[in-house]
Structure 1
Amino acid sequence: MQLTFSFDLTNNFDMDDEVFLVHNIIEGMNLKFLDSAYSNKGRKPVVESKTMLKILVFAYINRKYSARDVEDACKYDLRFRWLLDNGKPPDHVAINRFRNKIYSFMDEILHQLVNLLVEQGEIDLKSIYIDGTKIEANANKYTFVWKKSILKYQEKLMQKILEYFGINKNLSSEDCKKLVLLEFNNIRNICKSKNIVFAYGKGKRKLEEQKKYEMLEEWLDKLNIYEKHLNILGERNSYSKTDKDATFMRLKDDHMKNGPLKLAYNIQCATNGGYIVDIEGFSNPTDVRTLTPFMDKLLKKYDTKINRIVADSGYESEENYLYLREKKINPFIKPLNYEVKKTRKYRNDISRKENMTYCKAEEHYLCHNNKKLKFEKIIYRKNKYGFKSESKVYLCNDCLNCTYSSDCIDMKNKTGLKRIYVSERFEELRKESEKNIITEEGITERLNRSIQAEGVFSYIKSRMQYLRFKHRGMEKVVSEIKLLSVAINIRKLSSKIKADKLGFVRYKEII
């Protein structure tokens, strides 16, 4: 006879535990889409989709990221047993399968949680604090591909091809490939018409037709490989063969503080009220290129509510300023020269245009020696991403006998004449942002950015011990960090409930 016990699991842990909050929040969500994703060829799953999501979120709250650790918790942890309603616990295969199937829905789940927090007055979305960090990828660092090396090898091969065909002009890689393919097909047809049997092995002599055939075949293979690598790289400089979305970036987690190069993802986070509003991953290591695509996704969800963006100097660019102006969002971005402008060295540097006097009526600058830098021309520049900028050039023709020329003119300048470049549109946008951040409101906003945005990454790495991604590929990495964000938001809400400090949080400077 089998002996069974019946008891109430809720008597074994505190009623303010996170498990109840996870249960209540997920029960209140509209998650019908999970049922279709979790269907297993018409068979009823062992654990319902909502219950599986509760288990995963609660596991992440407790820093259990491995499917086997979650399986053990479902067997032996009373809180997980309560979520399962004392039913049969899922094994690690079912947990992993469910996690892989819900990755495409994590954005919607996080969105619903944020909307719930907005309704409860925990988030107001007026000010969005943005920051980025690098998290190491789950990739082999020795399976690297570098763009410069691929371009160098491709160029050498193309030169060899042009020499073989006796062509003096430069051709594109596509034209070189067509040329080699045409000759390869020609040689192959010759070999077929002569019934040539290729010789292999030691001591066997190859015919000239076979040598040409193998050489052209090798060239075609290499050209295809280089083309494939460059397509995967896109605008990036490197990637890993084990995780093609990961890029080599400088991380700060090395104990020697020397910023080692590691395969990683650039994670961008938007916070408000101490909660994660949205989080995304990028293969580009620089923050300045992530603001526009990140904001596009953010504005699709909360277009009418966002009033201002607060970010550090890593996001400053003319392109980003123009984007925010177009979207009618106030920029609170610290200029790159904001801190250095305060130094004595900067103020005493006579070579800088900021330390020269500008005469708007006559459109010229006066240098330290009261010599005029007159307007010369307008130049247009286009960066590698296609953005066009306009700059005015001012030139001084009376620098050759100037006593201050050694301090004013760069040693690399061969003309010996002082020339400065002024982008009026960028300067205007920068002043607008600087004007915003030096106000009392701007100081408060910068304080909140440093506490909330940077605090989230500290919480992820230190408190949650999430230092390296467990999965590979951009889609899985972003979904994983969104699942972790759901867990962090619920944990944050639980802490505020326990401390009886519910409500929107906005830190103020203590004087």
Structure 2
Amino acid sequence: MIHQQDYTAYQTYALLDFNISFEKDVPADDISRAVIEVTERIDINKFVDFTHRNSHRYDGLMMLRLLLLAFADNGYASTRKLAELCRTDIRYMFIAQNQKPSHQAFQRFIHDDLIMSVEDIFYEMNRIMEDELPIDTDVLCIDGTKYEANANKNTFIWRKNTVRHRERQWKKCNDTIKRINKFFKEKNINCRYSILREPNIDYLLRVTDKIEIYMKDNGIEFVHGKGCRKSDIQKLYDELAKEAMKLFEYALHFDMLGDRNSCSKTDPDATFMHMKYDYYNHTNVFKPGYNVQVGVSDGFIRNIYVSSDCSDIQTYIPFMEKYELMYGKLPLKTPADAGYGSYDNYMYCRENGIELFMKYPGYYEESKKTNDKRSDSEPLILRELKMAGIYVLLVMSSRWIR
């Protein structure tokens, strides 16, 4: 180590070792070694299309290894991040044989040459490892966690608020239609629009079209801007058009919500959930996120399922259906915590020959004894001494009575 105060990174000094190699400098348990070993056993033609590749492009197996290593190491990597890793990370430099593919080269490889998606490649690799390694696939341990979405914090859409605001807006529309009917009645025009009980955006648009035709036939011009006085019918027209746009916005909110009670405007697929980390000063505020379920067999991740459900109960059956679709069979045992226990999940297990290893909510509370509930906080030795003292008193009292 250099201790001079005037040290700079560019000064020359003697190195102890002049050779940098993958075998020596990369740990034996690094994920890059597993990626290289697995890709040596696969049929590259199943993953990469070589029909329209020319001699000027980078090697397809090399690009596939770089892509798989980036996803296995970071979970996600952009094309620019991949290009940066090939210039700075010794593992990527070794796989690329000191070549430096640009982000455009990675983009062309993913778009033009890669046949499967990364998720399909993940399951294909699992099938290969299942044939090569003694993995007990009969047992699949399931657990889930919630990840915060990359969405703005204050972009709430709540179903109850949307229903309430839509009803209020529809009442305003009905009041505006009544005023339009009153306007035509005062002008002695035989025109009357109906008051509907349910919001109907198409009906409101037809009313605005009729008003435009009336204004055009009577020579009433649309005016806008400061200092321009609007006519009475244009004021009604503008109010109705504004209210129709608000109703259309609420209809979009319902379409984004689907069967959920909340979502985010900037990420409609994200649902507002409770997270373990609360940066709102522990105010218990919901944050947009996703529920990620993971299944593991003998330390290998076998299945991943991402959903917008707030609870784990509703994710079990879709999770198992995806597993069966990818591997063609179901495991025999699926140990999971009490968050997955429900009647529907138990019936699904019985119908598909899966042993019931999921506890139901409240299992631990029901299994406790009455005296254990009152003395859980006491040490075990203290509880035993108390029970022994009570027994001695009972014996002495029985002898005294005799």
In which range does the TM-score fall when normalised by the shorter chain?
A: 0.7 to 0.9
> What is the CA distance between 1:281 and its match in structure 2?
0.7
On the 8 A contact 2:176/2:236 being kept in 1, the answer is no
Determine whether 1:204 maps to 2:228: yes
- 1:296-353 residue CA offsets vs partner (Å, 9 max, x unmatched): 11111234352222221111222222222232322211111201113456999xxxxx
Determine whether 1:124 maps to 2:150: no
Q: Secondary structure at the match of 2:227?
A: coil
Tell me which residue corresponds to 2:16. none
Counterpart amino acid of residue 91 in structure 1: S
Aligned counterpart for 2:68 among listed residues 57, 62, 81 = 57
Q: Which has the higher contact order (CA 8 A, sep 6+)?
A: 1
Residues 1:31 and 1:287: Cα distance change in structure 2 (over 3 Å): farther
Tell me which residue corresponds to 1:430. none
Aligned counterpart for 2:93 among listed residues 62, 81, 84 = 81
Tell me which residue corresponds to 2:7. none
Q: Secondary structure at the match of 1:334?
A: coil
On the 8 A contact 1:131/1:268 being kept in 2, the answer is yes
Q: Secondary structure at the match of 1:28?
A: coil
Tell me which residue corresponds to 2:48. 35
Tell me which residue corresponds to 2:208. 184
On the 8 A contact 2:257/2:263 being kept in 1, the answer is yes
- Aligned-residue identity in percent: 30
Determine whether 1:48 maps to 2:59: yes
On the 8 A contact 2:176/2:239 being kept in 1, the answer is no
> What is the CA distance between 1:42 and its match in structure 2?
6.5
Aligned partners of 1:212, 1:278: CA distance in 2, in Å? 58
Determine whether 1:149 maps to 2:173: no
Determine whether 1:243 maps to 2:261: no
Q: Secondary structure at the match of 1:267?
A: strand
Residues 1:171 and 1:133: Cα distance change in structure 2 (over 3 Å): same
> What is the CA distance between 1:291 and its match in structure 2?
1.3
Residues 1:340 and 1:225: Cα distance change in structure 2 (over 3 Å): same
Determine whether 1:115 maps to 2:127: yes
> What is the CA distance between 1:85 and its match in structure 2?
2.8
Matches within 5 A, 1:269-280: 269-280=294-305
**Greater Rg, structure 1 or structure 2?**
2
Residues 1:48 and 1:211: Cα distance change in structure 2 (over 3 Å): farther
Determine whether 1:315 maps to 2:365: no
Aligned partners of 1:99, 1:138: CA distance in 2, in Å? 24
Which shifted more, 96-105 or 106-115?
96-105
On the 8 A contact 1:29/1:112 being kept in 2, the answer is no
Determine whether 1:299 maps to 2:324: yes
- 1:385-434 residue CA offsets vs partner (Å, 9 max, x unmatched): xxxxxxxxxxxxxxxxxxxxxxxxxxxxxxxxxxxxxxxxxxxxxxxxxx
On the 8 A contact 1:309/1:330 being kept in 2, the answer is yes
Residues 1:258 and 1:197: Cα distance change in structure 2 (over 3 Å): closer
Determine whether 1:24 maps to 2:50: no
On the 8 A contact 1:122/1:273 being kept in 2, the answer is no
- 1:18-73 residue CA offsets vs partner (Å, 9 max, x unmatched): 4343112123224435434x99x866674334322311333355549554554333
Tell me which residue corresponds to 1:267. 292
Aligned partners of 1:199, 1:230: CA distance in 2, in Å? 34
Aligned partners of 1:302, 1:85: CA distance in 2, in Å? 35
> What is the CA distance between 1:15 and its match in structure 2?
8.6
Residues 1:345 and 1:303: Cα distance change in structure 2 (over 3 Å): farther
Q: Secondary structure at the match of 2:240?
A: helix
Aligned partners of 2:351, 2:209: CA distance in 1, in Å? 54
Aligned partners of 2:111, 2:153: CA distance in 1, in Å? 25
Determine whether 1:172 maps to 2:184: no
Counterpart amino acid of residue 48 in structure 1: D
Counterpart amino acid of residue 147 in structure 2: I
Determine whether 1:226 maps to 2:237: no
Counterpart amino acid of residue 102 in structure 2: D
Aligned partners of 2:116, 2:148: CA distance in 1, in Å? 22
Residues 1:204 and 1:28: Cα distance change in structure 2 (over 3 Å): same
TM-score (norm 2): 0.73
Q: Secondary structure at the match of 1:264?
A: strand
Residues 1:310 and 1:222: Cα distance change in structure 2 (over 3 Å): same
Determine whether 1:284 maps to 2:322: no
Q: Secondary structure at the match of 2:38?
A: helix
On the 8 A contact 2:70/2:77 being kept in 1, the answer is no
On the 8 A contact 1:54/1:83 being kept in 2, the answer is yes
Identify unmatched segments of 5+ residues in structure 2.
1-18, 179-192, 374-402
Aligned partners of 1:193, 1:33: CA distance in 2, in Å? 68
On the 8 A contact 2:48/2:115 being kept in 1, the answer is no
Aligned counterpart for 1:325 among listed residues 335, 347, 350 = 350
Q: Secondary structure at the match of 1:90?
A: coil
Q: Secondary structure at the match of 1:309?
A: coil
Tell me which residue corresponds to 2:238. 214
> What is the CA distance between 1:158 and its match in structure 2?
1.7
TM-score (norm 1): 0.58
Determine whether 1:253 maps to 2:277: yes
Relative to its length, the structure with more strand (as a share) is 1
Matches within 5 A, 1:460-475: none
Identify unmatched segments of 5+ residues in structure 1.
1-6, 349-511
Residues 1:266 and 1:190: Cα distance change in structure 2 (over 3 Å): same
Q: Secondary structure at the match of 1:127?
A: coil
> What is the CA distance between 1:224 and its match in structure 2?
1.4
Aligned partners of 1:81, 1:32: CA distance in 2, in Å? 24
Aligned partners of 1:110, 1:341: CA distance in 2, in Å? 41
Counterpart amino acid of residue 250 in structure 1: H
On the 8 A contact 2:153/2:287 being kept in 1, the answer is yes
Matches within 5 A, 1:477-488: none
Residues 1:222 and 1:45: Cα distance change in structure 2 (over 3 Å): farther
